Amino acid sequence: MKKLMNKGLLILSLVLTFSVHAQEISVNGIITDATGQPLPGASVVVKGTNNGVSSNFDGKYSIKTNTSDTLIFSFIGYLTQEVLVSNNNTIDIVLQEDTSILDEVVIVGYGTQKRENLTAAVSSVNLDKVDAKPITNLGQALQGMSAGVTSIQSSSQPGSSGSSIRIRGLNTLGTTNNTPLIVIDGSVGGSLNDVAPGDVASISILKDASSTAMYGARAAAGVILITTKRGKSGKMTFKYDGYVGFDEATELPDVISDSATYMELLREWTNDPAFPSDALIAEFRNDGGANPLKYPNVDWFETIMGGQAALQFHNFSVSGGSEAARVAASVNVLDQDGLVANTGYKRIGFRLNTNFKLSDKLDGGMDLFGNNSLRKSPGGSIQNLIPNIHSTVPYTVPINNGLYGYDGWTGSGGHNPLAQVNSRYHERETNKFTGKIFGTYKFLPNLKLTASATVYNAQSNAIDLVKKLTLHHFEDDSEEIARTNNELEESNSRNRVITLNAILEYDTTIKEKHNISLLAGYSQEENLWNTSSASGKGLVDESIFVLDGPQDQTSFQIGGNKTFNNLRSYFGRLNYDFDGKYLLEASFRYDGSSKFVKDLRWGFFPSLSLGWNIHKTDFLSHVDFITSLKLRGSVGQVGNNTSLGNYSAISTLEFGNNYSFNNSIEPGIYLNELANPELIWETTTTYGIGIDFGLFNNKITGEFDIYKNRTDGILRRVQAPYFGGIPQSPFENLAIVDGKGYELSLNYRNSEHKIKYSAGLTLSHSENKIVSFNDGQFQEVSGNYINKVGHPINSIYTYEHEGIFRTQEQINNHATQPQTPQIGDLIYKDQLTVDTNGDGVFDEADGVIDSDDRVIKDPSAPKINFGLNTNVEYNGFDLNVLLVGALGSKDFVRTSPARPFIYPGRGITGKEWIHAYHETRNPDSNTNVPRLDEGSGNFRASDYWMHDFSFLRVRTLQFGYTIPENIANKLTLSKARLYVNGQNLFTFENVPHFDPESVGRVYPLTKTVTLGVQLTF
């Protein structure tokens, strides 16, 4: 009895002791993110129990617990925290983003997948600080950011500065056929120019046929999926992002602007030592630039493009809402001046994304997008101006007192580019609108149907004005009428696309380990284009841009067109994984296009991919440094009909060619194109193997892919002469191309210290080879490029040179060249073109330089593309550096000024030609610059004109500072960041006269410096 009493007293004392140390208290607090924004709906749970609450709209919570308990705070996309209650009645929590979790969810075709379960080649683009970069087209943000993706911006012309994007190189013939499909918020066929960087939530790149097969007919060149930001439940958040800055050319040609020197070299070129005369050259040289009105020395590239141009961008956004209704809205304004006078671009746009919870089973929403843009340029295209710069001479006065000069000294007929800039005007106003409504109905928790309807409408109105023009020679005040009449043209175009989608999704788990997801869908798309134009001459007032202004009634012309095409599709996907270890995905798309005849318009495009999460197997469970390791493989098919016209499968008639009957002109209709009713889909089959890995708790992550593809039935016009008066030969499925390559992506992230840093490397290689032409041809030659069986697409086809003739003995002992060579001329290699023993192998040269001596060289596409993106953060300061580059690229630089005097008696000429060999002026036999003589053979296409286009560019250099939170709060801000950004600041390359990405007669690429601010209210 006594023992029993002692035990009872012991238990009672323990209970009393526990009561003292585990008193029930009420804990309150606020849960926010790192920027101070409240996190509504965050979970607060007492560890080891079911006792839990969620934070309210303002991030506040209140929970009853014991002092000895531990609270677990969690929120999707953030690191979970555990806090011992102790005697704290108030516990405020700041949750940090878990970037590894954010990376787990990847946008794929018609849905999302966990990266861990992904079996296809899909990459996500790092969007960190993308809204602070002065990019006017979203394609510019892709450069160097994703392995296997090349984004080349060849021009910075305002309103036309889009990038040429390639995913895994070229896999078919033609340019448009290799352009990836753009999908914005599920709507197919959008433009990267339509998305403000600050509106983007994610970008996914679908690279192999397994990932792109869900888009079937238009996905042969890859798919870029863009998802814009949507509202989240919680407090309304207001943001402002804006910057101001300036552009200037990354590089302008280094040309001969000294007129006396130019004239001396011109005499060598024309082989006329008397013109221009010694006296005229002496006048210019003796003046020394003292009288620029009479003796000008003009650098025309510097005059037209050598200044700076301002730009500014402003974006206002708001997002937030409740569980019942969420909204994300933005308005943005871009204003960009051009380096060239009368060029510029203005755009104002908006985006509104809404989501509504209509019931427990029904969700819906509406997305609206629109913008208005105005692009200005001198003439319909800047390309109309550039030839004027290349064709002029340095002794033309640009302008004086409103009068434009011309070459009255040599009568070269050279144009005045500044006069062309100011006497031609082009203005294009475009209005775009997209409206989408969608809804999702849940029949069961794991069975739902999503339907959507989207309408896209784009309308453009363009005005082109060509003014009268008179030029002056200021030495003798003479005039030349360059243009006697004026002309006005107005054109309009409209594109409307209506898209309907319906998607049924079902997912289930069997016995806790068999996870199955099914998707079935239907899509229908209708495209309609309308165009019209009218023009006339004889405007009385050149400042009035209306069509009733022209008074020459006989000059009026009108035109118009209307076309359409439709696409109907059925698609499906199966995803299966066993316990997260073994993964399978199978998908298909069945597309029918109106571009083909009825019996051949349908194409079936299947895919299959497998994956193995090796790190989940028992034999790797004790390898601590391997966080994740996955092996995957895929095979699939996609289609392509981009190169086809809307009616290539049927014969078409065209109006507008009049005929003479009985001595009078009558309206005429003619057969424009021969039909080929047997056309079928061009098909690309891709095989790929990849490995994904994460090491040391995902501090180091990476992906490596190798792939091979074959494109069969390539759609291309038959190479045939005109016959029967029909301008266009028919399309055929006439070629096969093989491609292969590899991609590497490596990332390192360390955020555990005060100094946080990360780095990402992308590297890729792709190549292709033409396997056959089905029309019996062996090759297609176009200028200095060739498509030939057994060689890559667009291989270079040219002569090889072996230096410069230094002695007459060299000339005497060399093969016969087309023009009689002299000392200082290029030596062209006499190739082995004779088979002496009939074994099919050329083993001897024929002693004559002719077209048979041309050789095939690699195409201009780089062997390697790479990017290195680094970020450093410390105590509010941040630094971002993006390096991009290419290796192993060679191509021609044969336009002026690299090629001298490209027009008869004129043409901008580079300074290197000062060092051209000349028997008296420059008898240096060691020079590598050949003799100047238009009658020589030195200026035919050869590898002398080829240069290494490899480069390394500092694409982005950005330095920012985030104001401390306590100071920002005093300014009624939750976050404030200031930054300075530079784009294309430095480029390391060896291409003469031009930027390696912007060679030839194009608007130059620019370097941009901006100052910006990002504010969150």
The Cα–Cα gap between 289 and 284 comes to 8
Nearest CA to 373 out of 131, 160, 77 is that of 160
Question: CA-to-CA distance for 998 and 1005, rounded, in angstroms?
Answer: 6
- Tens of pLDDT, residue by residue over 577-608, are 999 999 999 999 999 999 888 889 999 999 99
DSSP state at residue 295 = S
CA-to-CA distance for 266 and 901, rounded, in angstroms?
8
Give the whole-angstrom CA distance, residue 556 versus residue 739.
51
The torsion defined by the Cα of 138, 142, 145 and 149, in degrees rounded to 10, comes to: 160
Query: How confident is the model at residue 761, as a pLDDT?
Result: 96
Average pLDDT of the residues in 321-350: 94
Q: CB-based contacts of 438: which residues, under 8 Å, 6+ apart?
A: 364, 365, 366, 367, 450, 451, 452, 453
Q: What is the identity of the amino acid at 983? A: Q
Cα–Cα distance list, 528 to 185, 284, 432, 644 (Å): 21, 60, 15, 16
3-class SS of residue 118: coil
Answer yes or no: are the C-beta atoms of 81 and 42 closer than 8 Å. no
**pLDDT given for residue 4 in this prediction:** 42
pLDDT the model gives residue 852 = 93
- Say which DSSP state 618 is in: G
pLDDT at 100: 53
Q: Rounded to an integer, what distance in angstroms lies between the CA atom of residue 74 and that of residue 45?
A: 9
Res. 173 pLDDT band, cuts 50 70 90: confident
**For the chain, first and last CA: distance in Å?**
72
CA distance 628 to 692: 8
pLDDT, greater one: 619 or 76: 619
Residues 479-535 have pLDDT tens digits of: 888 889 999 999 999 999 999 999 999 999 999 899 999 999 999 999 999 999 999
Quick one: what percent of the chain has pLDDT higher than 90?
55
Is the CB of residue 229 less than 8 Å from the CB of residue 353? yes
Within 8 A by CB and 6+ apart from 309, the residues are 158, 246, 247, 248, 336, 337, 338, 339, 1006
Question: Cα–Cα distances in Å, from 564 out to 495, 527, 678, 834?
Answer: 9, 5, 20, 54
Res 15: pLDDT: 40
Rg (CA), the chain: 34
Two tokens, residue 125: 């683009």
User: Rounded to 5 degrees, what are φ and ψ at 297?
Assistant: -130, 90
Token representation of residue 330: 């933005």
Residue 98: what pLDDT?
65
DSSP string, 832-845: EEE-SSSSS---EE
Q: Are 993 and 896 in contact (CB under 8 A)?
A: no
- Here the tokens at position 674 are 């021969």
Report the C-alpha gap between 606 and 570 in whole angstroms: 12
pLDDT in tens, 747-792: 999 877 789 899 999 999 999 999 998 766 788 888 899 999 999 9
How many helices (H) and strands (E) would you count in the chain? 10, 57
The pLDDT-based confidence of 449 (bands split at 50, 70, 90) is very high
Specify the range with the lowest mean pLDDT, choosing from 189-203, 260-274, 459-473, 863-877.
189-203
User: Who has greater pLDDT, 881 or 43?
Assistant: 881
- Tens digit of each residue's pLDDT (9 = 90 or more) over 850-868: 999 999 999 999 999 999 9
For 10, list phi and psi in degrees, rounded to 5.
-65, -45
pLDDT digits (tens, 9 = 90+) for 667-708: 778 777 778 888 888 999 999 999 999 998 889 999 999 999
Q: Over the chain, what is the mean pLDDT?
A: 88
Q: Are strands 200-206 and 951-962 parallel, antiparallel or unpaired?
A: unpaired
Q: Please name which of 407, 558, 554, 549 lies closest in space to residue 466, comparing C-alpha atoms.
A: 549
- Own/partner long-range contacts of 896-899 (Cβ < 8 Å, ≥24 apart): 896/390, 896/391, 897/253, 897/254, 897/255, 897/256, 897/390, 897/993, 898/945, 898/992, 898/993, 899/939, 899/945
List residues bridging with 531 in a β-sheet: 493, 561
The tokens for 527 are: 């495209």
Which residue in this structure is represented by tokens 């316990």?
579
Query: Which is nearest to 115 in space by CA: 124, 106, 107?
Result: 106
3-state class of 105 per DSSP? strand
Q: Give the model's pLDDT for residue 16.
A: 40
pLDDT given at position 228: 92
CA-wise closest residue to 121 among 204, 200, 218: 204
* Nearest-5° Cα angle at 238, 236 to 239: 150
Handedness of CA 355, 358, 363, 368 (dihedral sign): negative
For residue 36, name the pLDDT band (cuts at 50, 70, 90).
confident
pLDDT of residue 354 exceeding 90, the answer is yes
CA angle 705, 710, 715 (to 5 degrees): 135
Residue 22 has pLDDT above 60, yes or no: no
For 324, counting Cβ atoms within 10 Å of its Cβ (0-12 exposed, 13-18 middle, 19+ buried), the class is: exposed
More confident residue, 27 or 111: 27
For 488-533, the DSSP string reads EEEEEEEEEEEEEEEEEEEEEEETTTEEEEEEEEEEEEEEEEEEEE
List of residues 6+ apart from 675 with CB closer than 8 A: 648, 649, 650, 651, 652, 730
Task: Quote the DSSP letter at residue 385.
Answer: T
Q: What pLDDT does 245 receive?
A: 96
- Burial (CB < 10 A; 0-12, 13-18, 19+), residue 478, is exposed
Give the residue from 347, 421, 376, 381 showing the smallest Cα distance to 545. Answer: 376
Cβ proximity of 378 and 426 under 8 Å: yes
Structure-block tokens of residue 872: 């450093």
Q: Is 816 left (phi over 0), alpha (psi -120 to 50) or beta?
A: beta
pLDDT at 106: 81
Position 330 scores a pLDDT of 96
Rounded CA-CA distance 371/333 in Å is 10
Structure token digits, residue 150? 């090349």
Predicted local confidence at residue 118, as pLDDT: 87
State residue 9's pLDDT score.
44
pLDDT at 869 over 90: yes
Q: Residue 631: pLDDT above 50?
A: yes
Q: pLDDT-derived band of residue 161, with 50, 70 and 90 as boundaries?
A: low
pLDDT in tens, 944-990: 999 999 999 999 999 999 999 889 888 888 899 999 999 999 999 99
Q: Mean of the pLDDT values across residues 139-159?
A: 85
Give the DSSP H/E element, type plus range, for residue 965: helix 965-970
On whether the CB atoms of residues 898 and 993 are closer than 8 A, the answer is yes
pTM: 0.86
**What CA–CA distance (Å, rounded) separates 414 from 266?**
14
Strand order across the 24-32 sheet: 60-66, 24-32, 93-94
Quickly state the pLDDT bin for 58 (edges 50, 70, 90).
confident
What is the mean predicted confidence (pLDDT) over 892-906? 89
Q: How far apart are CA 998 and CA 1012, in angstroms?
A: 27
Instruction: Tell me the residue type at 247.
Output: D
What integer pLDDT is reported at residue 458 of this predicted model? Answer: 94
At 269, phi and psi to the nearest 5?
A: -65, -45
pLDDT at residue 382, rounded to an integer: 77
Higher pLDDT, 554 or 722: 554
> Smallest Cα–Cα separation from 632: which of 117, 164, 4?
117
pLDDT (0 to 100) of residue 77: 61
Q: Could you give the percent of the chain with pLDDT greater than 70?
A: 95
